[in-house]
């Protein structure tokens, strides 16, 4: 019966272990890019800009609709036309009413654009161009998050690898401690030697504590960037090394193009300022006097017609306005050239770093192989009493340092490649 219960318990444990392992979360750097973009508060501005663009375009389009205005007026004037005085010299007696000095009018005006010289169309183009520039500026700011993700992500990977190597060092030391304690029990070793080895194990444990604390700090920072709580069990995948593409595709370049297009639209708008504008209008009113001023009674009246408006005052300033637009265009082009120059400078520096880390990795691998050989020899010499524990610990630390350098340069190599991807915009 007892054997049956233990069998059931073993089966349950075997069933739970895969579930526990499956619960471990794995995150890639591409996941972090996507989540960091979605989590960054600035992304909300894209929707706000899109809605603002829709409302502004709708308002501009409604300028094609008939425009209605209503006004009213009540007035008293000191003098009006005196018809009796005008016709007093005529041989025929004419009786005309006197015009009241108090006058009243309520009026409605309706106008319809017939030709505006492309003014409304250019306004809509300016709205689109301005919105595109604002949207692209948001894209530039969102793209900068990738660099933050790179820094934190590779810092976590570095802590993982250093912690793993430190655990290997601690395990090796613990094996030597076990052998030293056995030798001590047989009278072939000193207590001080065993204690010195144990002290080195404690140092390794302290280093592991520091690595874990640093890893948790970086992991918390990464969690804040991507908007997710990352547990200590979360594992980050090592990005694959890839050939770097130096063809520049940064969002800033698109921003400069959109700014130049906005200048072109503004330049076209200057032409509409001095073109004639033609509209039709209807004016209807009720008041006293009407258009027939001889009749001093309240009544309705209306006027229908077309109106031509040609304001040539902008011709005085159009030349300087064009010059300002050209200066602005040159300024944008200068900003582009400066950005491309600085970006190429960064790419050159990162390419040099990549070459440096590749060369260092080759030396690291040779150094690790040599240090590992020396440590194994030192371990055999320690067992035979040829060297002291202190000499052996020095060789262990030298091998560990060589492996830590190898880990550091391997991480920095991949990070340098991803830095080039970010700098080039790929």
pLDDT at 100 (0 to 100): 85
Q: Model confidence over 30-42: pLDDT tens digits?
A: 999 999 999 999 9
- Residue range 373-391: mean pLDDT, rounded: 88
111, β-bridge pairs = 67, 281
Are 389 and 190 contacting, i.e. CB atoms less than 8 angstroms apart? no
- In this prediction the pTM is 0.81
How is residue 65 annotated by DSSP?
S
Are 124 and 57 contacting, i.e. CB atoms less than 8 angstroms apart? yes
Tokens (6 digits) for 261: 């297009």
Q: Model confidence over 144-161: pLDDT tens digits?
A: 999 999 999 999 999 999
* Cα 261 to Cα 69: distance, rounded to the nearest angstrom: 36
Q: Model confidence over 111-124: pLDDT tens digits?
A: 999 998 888 999 99
Q: DSSP per residue over 230-258, as a string?
A: PPTT-EEPPPPP---------HHHHHHHH
27-68+126-273+316-424 adopts what CATH topology?
A: Outer membrane efflux proteins (OEP) (1.20.1600)
Asked whether residue 230 carries a pLDDT value surpassing 50, the answer given is yes
Q: Model confidence over 273-329: pLDDT tens digits?
A: 888 999 999 999 999 888 887 788 899 999 999 999 988 888 888 899 999 999 999
pLDDT at 273 (0 to 100): 84
- Residue range 364-386: mean pLDDT, rounded: 90
Beta strands of 29-184 (E only): which ranges? 67-76, 102-115
Asked whether residue 385 carries a pLDDT value surpassing 90, the answer given is no
- pLDDT band per the 50, 70, 90 thresholds, residue 92: low
Are 32 and 73 contacting, i.e. CB atoms less than 8 angstroms apart? no
């Amino acid at each position: 019966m007892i054997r049956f219960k233990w069998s059931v318990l073993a089966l349950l444990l075997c069933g739970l272990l895969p579930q526990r392992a499956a619960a471990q979360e794995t995150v890639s750097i591409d996941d972090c890019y996507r989540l960091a973009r979605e989590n960054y508060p600035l992304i909300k501005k894209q929707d706000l800009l899109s809605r603002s663009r829709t409302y502004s375009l709708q308002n501009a389009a409604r300028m094609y609709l008939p425009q209605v205005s209503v006004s009213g007026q009540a007035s008293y004037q000191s003098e009006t036309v005196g018809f009796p005085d005008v016709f007093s010299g005529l041989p025929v007696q004419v009786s005309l009413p006197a015009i009241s000095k108090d006058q009243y009018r309520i009026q409605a005006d309706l106008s319809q654009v017939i030709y505006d010289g492309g003014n409304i169309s250019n306004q809509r183009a300016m709205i689109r161009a301005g919105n595109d520039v604002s949207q692209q500026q948001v894209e530039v700011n969102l793209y900068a998050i990738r660099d933050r993700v790179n820094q934190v992500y590779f810092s976590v990977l570095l802590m993982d690898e250093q912690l793993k190597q430190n655990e290997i060092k601690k395990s090796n030391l613990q094996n030597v401690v076990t052998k030293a304690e056995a030798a001590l029990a047989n009278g072939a070793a000193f207590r001080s030697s065993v204690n010195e080895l144990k002290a080195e194990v404690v140092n390794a444990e302290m280093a592991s504590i520091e690595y874990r604390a640093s890893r948790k700090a970086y992991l918390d920072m990464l969690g804040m960037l991507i908007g997710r709580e990352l547990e200590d069990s979360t594992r980050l995948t090592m990005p694959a090394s890839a050939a770097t593409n130096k063809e520049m595709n940064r969002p800033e370049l698109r921003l400069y193009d959109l700014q130049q297009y906005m200048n072109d639209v503004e330049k076209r708008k200057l032409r509409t300022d001095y073109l004639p504008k033609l509209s039709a209008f209807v004016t209807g009113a009720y008041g006293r006097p009407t258009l027939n001023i001889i009749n001093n009674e309240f009544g309705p009246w209306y006027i229908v017609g077309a109106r031509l408006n040609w304001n040539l005052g902008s011709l005085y300033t159009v030349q300087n306005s064009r010059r300002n637009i050209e200066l602005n265009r040159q300024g944008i082009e200068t900003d582009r050239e400066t950005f491309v120059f600085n970006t190429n400078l960064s790419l050159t520096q990162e390419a040099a770093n990549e070459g440096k880390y590749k060369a260092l990795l080759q030396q690291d691998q040779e150094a690790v192989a040599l240090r590992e050989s020396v440590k194994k020899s030192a371990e055999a010499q320690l067992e035979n009493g040829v060297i002291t524990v202190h000499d052996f610990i020095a060789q262990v630390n030298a091998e560990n340092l060589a492996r830590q350098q190898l880990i550091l340069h391997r991480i920095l190599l991949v990070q340098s490649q991803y830095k080039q991807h970010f700098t080039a915009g790929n």
